[in-house]
């Protein structure tokens, strides 16, 4: 189990790295395609995010005169690398269990916060007023959703008695999935409110709102640097949805069938939880989103933690 | 070297399937802008199927649509925004105004023709042009862009 030679493989090839990136881009393409169909359009091909990435790699990166250049160019790199590490930390039930040397749920929690921090740094380093607005909105939103996330994770970990995702998956395989465990339903509801905010989709795409602040922190980015942000967001979709599966519904057979089941779960989650949500809702204001998170998800996750602690 | 060249060709073929479009209104009467929006937004002319995406930031743009006769008031800003767009890019002038000034051609307040100030690659004449014409202009721009990227 503690064979360290497989760690680079897990980070760079499977299930992190290339595999997660390819799957994440496919998920993004599916999302755009399904959204177009729901609006009565034909929509782009499934591989569109991949074309976008190749295009961005061939463009020039421009750095604004007033930007802090090392930070401006370093931020997307840090974001993409942190998500690369994250992808290797999420188990695929029946197929892949992360090496304990690599880290557990706590490391994942910290790494999951990096993209938001990176966006804040990028927004302020770019020197653009829209970037600054994006920065302040991102910070407010992050303060609002990080609390519930930590409490949800704490509730699940307390139920299992371990912060290792491998243990959490194993526990559910013997005791039944937490999706059907009423004790953890409030935590599930809180998680369902958390992930749209973390993935930055409507109703919670407030920091990058295209029609208000012109993509905020990403406004000044072009070429390969913007491409790295696209890589980061594709990997983040796989990580966050994969985390949801590992926490609440990790039941799957072993081997290739298990991989297929896992990927199918992510596709269903993407279409039902992301695409349908974003085409059917409008964007909230930052104060509304802040109040929402401090009211419902926080209360629900606290409730869940209390029930688990008492049960 | 040959492998490098084939890979570059392959990458080019993939890259041209992702042209992001940016609109600059250089003092247009909004007629052409409405047609541009129609081209992009309504299901009938969905350009997203070509991989096109309207972007809000000039830094993300590949194909620039310019409308209007470049009024004196907005000239400096248009030139500045145009300089912000990273190479390689292609410029499409939409409507008759960028070509000759259109109905504003004798006004003291316009700087048409636009190609005195900006490298216009493709003209889409019309007052305003139909969405089909704009799509054809964009398609020609993609072909030109392929040689530059």
Give a three-class secondary structure readout of B49-103: HHCCEECCCHHHCCEEEEECCCECCCHHHHHHHHHCCCCCCEEEEECCHHHHCHH
Q: Are A289 and A144 in contact (CB under 8 A)?
A: yes
Helix (H, G, I), strand (E, B) or coil at A81: helix
Residue B2 lies in a domain: no
Residue A32 lies in a domain: yes
Residue B34 lies in a domain: yes
Q: By residue range, what is the domain housing residue B26?
A: 18-148
Please provide the size of chain A in residues.
Answer: 311
Residue B9 lies in a domain: no
* Residue A154: pLDDT over 80: yes
Q: Are A218 and A209 in contact (CB under 8 A)?
A: no
Residue B5 lies in a domain: no
The pLDDT value recorded for residue B122 is: 92
The pLDDT value recorded for residue B93 is: 92
* Residue B90, domain CATH: 3.40.50.12280
Give Cβ neighbours of residue B53 (< 8 Å, ≥ 6 apart): B18, B20, B21
The pLDDT value recorded for residue A211 is: 67
Weakest mean pLDDT among A125-134, A245-254, B41-50: B41-50
Which positions in chain B touch A221 (Cβ < 8 Å)?
59-60
**Number of neighbouring beta carbons within 10 Å of residue A211:** 8
CB contact under 8 A, B18 and A52: yes
Residue B66 lies in a domain: yes
The pLDDT value recorded for residue B91 is: 92
Give Cβ neighbours of residue B15 (< 8 Å, ≥ 6 apart): A51, A54, A55, A57, A58, B149
CB contact under 8 A, B17 and A210: no
Which among B45, B84, B33, B65 has a CA at the least distance from the CA of B141? B65
Residue B134 lies in a domain: yes
What are the pLDDT digits (tens) for A161-205? 888 888 888 788 788 777 777 778 888 888 888 888 888 787 877
Q: How many domains does chain A have?
A: 1
Q: Are B124 and B92 in contact (CB under 8 A)?
A: yes
What is the pLDDT confidence band of residue A64, given thresholds at 50, 70 and 90? confident
Residue B99 lies in a domain: yes
The pLDDT value recorded for residue A1 is: 45
Mean pLDDT over A40-68 rounds to 84
The pLDDT value recorded for residue B42 is: 67
Q: Are B70 and B117 in contact (CB under 8 A)?
A: yes
Which positions in chain B touch A57 (Cβ < 8 Å)?
11, 15
Residue A1 lies in a domain: no
The pLDDT value recorded for residue A4 is: 61
- Measure CB to CB from residue A59 to each of B14, B43, B86 and give the nearest one: B86
- Grouped pLDDT means (10 residues each) for chain B, 149 residues: 81 82 88 81 74 83 89 90 87 90 87 86 90 87 86
Q: By residue range, what is the domain housing residue A163?
A: 6-310
- Measure CB to CB from residue B48 to each of A43, A62, A215 and give the nearest one: A43
């Amino acid at each position: 189990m503690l064979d360290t030679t497989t760690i680079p493989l897990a980070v760079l090839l499977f299930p992190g790295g290339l595999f997660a990136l390819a799957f994440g881009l496919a998920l993004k393409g599916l999302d755009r395609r399904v959204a177009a169909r729901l609006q009565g359009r034909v929509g782009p091909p499934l591989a569109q995010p991949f074309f976008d990435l190749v295009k961005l790699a061939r463009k020039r990166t421009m750095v604004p005169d007033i930007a802090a250049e090392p930070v401006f160019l370093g931020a997307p790199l840090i974001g993409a690398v942190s998500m690369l590490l994250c992808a290797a930390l999420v188990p695929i039930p029946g197929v892949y269990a992360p090496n304990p040397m690599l880290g557990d749920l706590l490391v994942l929690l910290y790494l999951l916060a990096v993209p938001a921090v990176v966006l804040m740094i990028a927004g302020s380093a770019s020197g653009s007023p829209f970037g600054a607005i994006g920065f302040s909105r991102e910070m407010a939103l992050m303060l609002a959703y990080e609390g519930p996330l930590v409490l949800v994770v704490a509730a699940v970990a307390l139920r299992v008695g371990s912060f290792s995702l491998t243990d959490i998956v194993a526990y559910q395989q013997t005791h039944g999935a937490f999706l059907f465990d009423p004790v953890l339903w409030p935590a599930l509801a809180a998680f369902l409110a958390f992930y749209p905010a973390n993935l930055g989709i409507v109703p919670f795409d407030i920091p990058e709102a295209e029609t208000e602040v012109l993509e905020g922190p990403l406004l000044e980015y072009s070429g390969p640097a913007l491409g790295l942000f696209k890589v980061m967001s594709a990997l983040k979709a796989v990580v966050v949805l994969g985390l949801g599966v590992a926490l609440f519904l990790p039941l799957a057979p072993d081997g290739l069938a298990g991989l297929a089941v896992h990927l199918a779960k992510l596709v269903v989650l993407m279409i039902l939880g992301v695409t349908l949500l974003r085409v059917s809702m409008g964007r909230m204001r930052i104060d509304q989103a802040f109040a929402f998170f401090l009211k419902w998800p926080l209360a629900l996750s606290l409730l869940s933690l209390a029930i688990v602690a008492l049960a | 070297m040959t492998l490098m060249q084939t890979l570059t060709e392959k990458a080019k073929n993939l890259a041209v399937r992702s042209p992001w479009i940016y609109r600059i209104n250089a003092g247009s009467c909004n007629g052409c802008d409405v047609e541009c929006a129609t081209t992009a937004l309504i299901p009938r002319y969905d350009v997203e199927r070509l991989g096109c995406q309207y972007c809000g930031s000039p830094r993300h743009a590949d194909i620039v649509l310019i409308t209007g006769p470049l009024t004196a008031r907005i000239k400096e800003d248009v030139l500045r925004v145009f300089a912000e767009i990273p190479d390689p890019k292609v410029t499409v002038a939409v409507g008759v105004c960028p070509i000759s000034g259109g109905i504003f051609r004798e006004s003291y307040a316009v700087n048409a023709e636009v190609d005195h100030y900006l490298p216009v690659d493709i003209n889409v004449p019309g007052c305003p042009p139909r969405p089909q014409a704009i799509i054809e202009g964009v398609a020609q721009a993609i072909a030109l862009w392929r040689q530059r990227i």
